[in-house]
Amino acid sequence: MLNIGKTQNGQELIVSLEGRLDTTTGPQLETEVKENLKGIENLIFDMANPEYISSAGLRVLLSAQKLMNKQGEMVIRNSSEEVNEIFEVTGFSDILTIE
């Protein structure tokens, strides 16, 4: 189960995640992001509440990063120690902007 919250302020979109980002919920997030990126220059993922991120979830984040490279910036914020560890072990901490 993944709850996705979206807040748009002009050209900024904040996507808040709560729950599991995995094979089952990854496509849901990918659809939500792609449908809401038109005109967005700053994409922020609030990662304060994900319980788990699988490789499928990482793929969605990488896909979003590639899209945003063409039209603006993407930032990961408020990630927990566990999520940061996943980013570090997979090398995603070198690819993504994490604050």
The pLDDT assigned to 21 comes to: 94
CB 73 within 8 A of CB 42: yes
Token code pair at residue 27 = 């496509």
* pLDDT tens string 65-85: 999 999 999 999 999 888 999
Token digits for 26?
A: 């990854």
Give tens-digit pLDDT for 23-44.
999 999 999 999 999 999 999 9
pLDDT band at 51 (very low <50, low <70, confident <90, very high): confident
Residues 56-71: what's their mean pLDDT? 95
Could you tell me how far CA 94 lies from the centroid of its own chain?
15
CB atoms within 10 A of CB 74: 23
Other Cβ atoms closer than 10 A to 1:
8
What predicted TM-score, i.e. pTM, was given to this entire model? 0.93
Domains and CATH numbers, the chain: 2-95 (3.30.750.24)
Give the separation between CA 98 and CA 65, rounded to whole angstroms: 12
